[in-house]
Structure 1
Amino acid sequence: MKHFIIGTAGHIDHGKTTLIRALTGRNTDRLKEEQNRGISIELGFTYFDLPSGKRAGIIDVPGHEKFIKNMLAGVIGIDIVLLVVAADEGIMPQTAEHLAILDLLGINKGIIVITKTDLVEDEWIELIEEDIYEEVESTFLEGSPIVRVSSTHKSGIDELIKLIDEFSDIIEERDTKDMPRLPVDRAFSISGFGTVVTGTLLSGRLNLGDEVQIFPGNTTSRIRSLQVHDEDAEVAYGGQRVAINLAGVKRKEVERGSIIAPINSMKSSMMVDVKVKVLKSADRSIENRTRLHLYIGTREVLCRIVLLDKDQVNPGEEAYAQLRLEEEIVSKRGDKFILRFYSPMFTIGGGEILEANAIKKKRFDEKAIGELKIKESGDSKDILEKIIYSKSKDFLSIKELSQDTSMLEETILSDIDELIKEDKIITFTSAKDIYTIHYKYFDVLHEKIINEIKSYHKKYPLRIGMPKEEIRSKILGKAKQKIADQILEKIFAIGNVVQVKEFVSLSDFKIKYSKEQIIIKDFILDKLKVNEFLPPRNGDIASELKLNLDQVEEVLNSLINEGVVIRINEDVYILSSSYYKALELLKEFVNINGSISLGEFRDILGTNRKVALGLLEYYDQMKITNRDGEKRTLIK
């Protein structure tokens, strides 16, 4: 069944609440003050059944200028608007403001209802109709039907109900597969039940027992009970008025302006990129860095507008901008909003969210503006590509992309498959998620790594390469280790960067000794050859050559990387050939005697205790020998 919401709009005391009572038989003024004063202050909600069997939710919004923020909280999510104009007064200031707001919010279906027709002559009503036609010209209500009613005498009510029923057939159905979002317009406590919230479910579906989160914020809950149009329900669909009893949530943890959605499905932001439009009827412009009231969903926050492609936006003009917020919001690309001046308070314009989790942008940056144009007009795949490109350095996961875009993970995965085929993005997998970067950013990383290694080779010409861990921390620091390793493997596959042990070098790199280093190298090799099992300490070599210890160790480390020298412990180095010769002597002795002691090994080599112990412990580490008390045996 199709679900839809009707909303009223119009000036104070033009009969909106009375009209709803005539349609539904119910009074939507629930506050005592409203009933005493005869005006709507807060939002009113009810429903009625149409002749076709469809059930329509209906929202009564206040018409008084003082309560415009309540009106803005109510019109979110409506499918059909009833623009109410009293026959005895005609178009009034709040009629015009409500119409402008509805137009900015992208509402595109409506019926014009002239009320209180029993108070005036038909000729007067015809004049009122002419004024209305002129007022709605170039708005979404241009060409919309006008119905004359008297709520008191019930004349025209049946015609209006029939017209609403006809309109319901052309309303686009909400996507029940989309992510559910419920902007809260009321929150209250019921003794014995706890906290209850109400709102219009914008999309998707909510089920009894679903785990949900209150955004902005980290409070989570479970849907304990669910009502749709005052009746208990197992499931609620986009386009329905919904009441939710939230388990374990205190009243102070949720308020009008909160959004109920699946856990971790959205991301709070202090900055959004937008396309903004100033009303033609506005009597002033929006200048850069003007402080404004932002109304989005059911939330109201203060913000400062940073114009990206203009210095000011004049009446009737549009511009790309960034709203820098004073409180966090959660939103989705395509969400509509209203802007009102900070003081005095009046509606100046509105617009559409292009990037819900924006990063700070420079003004008049052609590249940034170009990206916003794509986000304004592109499909989900184009937009996803731009987001991945702009945030590649963060190595976003599918879950994080879903939070950033409020797109379903299935939609993101489908778009990613297409982008992979087009060689635009690369994905890397972990046990729990898939991570993405743009191919252009991968090329940037590749170039950065090459340049980093070049600098390293120049600084340390005797080192086999840059430690892999250093590459990870310097260039891939924001990537999880498993993802960083996969990125490096993909770079190694290209061929100009290679891994040698735990080092990374350029494939054409060769160690080059300076003249001084060749002298050090030859001296070390001679010393180690002559003193095969009584090698000098590196400090002794440095002293003999009258060099710094660092200069000697640099050459020693190079010889180790080349496999010519083996480091046994902190300051004992021997030739690789001596190492293997000692190992053969050890094996011969053990094969004859079954085991070997430290003293026996020392005597075989003709060395001292330190070198013999260093070699034996090294063999232990390499799993060649096994220590058992004072003896060692070979591991078979």
Structure 2
Amino acid sequence: IVLDRPIGALRGDRLILRDQSAQQTLAGGVVLDPFAPARKVRTPARLAVLAALERPTMFDALQQLLNDAPAGVDLSWFARSFNLRAKAAETLYREIPMVVVNVAGAGRFGFAPLRWETTQQEVLAALAAEHARAPEVLGLEGRRLRRLATPDLPWEMFTALIDQLLAGQRVARHGPWLHLPQHRITLTGAEEKLWRAVAPLLQATPFQPPWVRDIARTLTAPEPQVRSLLQRVTMLGDTYEVMHDRFFTREAIAELARVVSELAAEKGEVTASEFRDHIGTGRKIAIRILEYFDKTGFSRRVGDAHRVRDPTLLVERIKESADTDSGRREAQVSGRDSHPGGANGLQIR
């Protein structure tokens, strides 16, 4: 049923449908979901949700939802649908075996324990397969790992899952790379020697580092060799490829992130020209740096400005990378609450 305006309906409420004159009864029903979505109301996944909500008790409904929901159950939505106060909701959640996950910006979600463990195993299996396919590569960036392992899991839930795996030491992070703890890569003696020559060139102009071709020319080294080295050092978390063939040191990225955070803190966002003036580079490179931060999830573009999404995200990863490195070139690897039904409509039986 599509409504013109929200009404105070909740799951289990009975209703009668009459014609426009309110003289003829057309049908009756029971509300299943007072917060029904506007689209995809007949998909198999959606029909499974409605079937679960038809179960006779809240306990049965939640149990079935957990078993059927690969992306978890929004516990706030469930409590509002059944008009549960916080204490009653928590009592119910304790009675049912579930993994409760705090998802940044989205609230708490419940997962069936077996499904949550299966999802974690899918991530571990994807990493193991990648290590077997490309042993010379440290690991995978988070968004690529999600696409390979759990493409249907929303990004915010995926990051919560990764946080659990990191806390349990089942996955390790080095810079932007996620990998199994036992997987590692090292630089060869020749690569170490070349890196000792390359590093000072990057550090000399940290916000405007030389291109790979310029480094190769300065050191009279083959360009592919310099590029390969910097890509491997990036896997170790000591450099970041902000744009093709232009690598920034870890310290430079940390300082640039700090500048963006401070500028954004003043008025909520930062423009390319403001950022350029603070770091003393050209406009083009300032824009590319801001675009890189957008791509990593540290910030997001809104119009012609950029807003910081998670000020701790990049800084924490850089710190983790520095801590793990510690000077080495090796990575391990009673009254009713007023919860009106959604304006999109109700789903009933």
TM-score, scaled relative to structure 2? 0.49
Is the radius of gyration larger for structure 1 or structure 2?
1
Greater RCO (Cα-Cα under 8 Å, separation 6 or more): 2
Point out the structure with the larger helix share: 2
More strand by share: 1
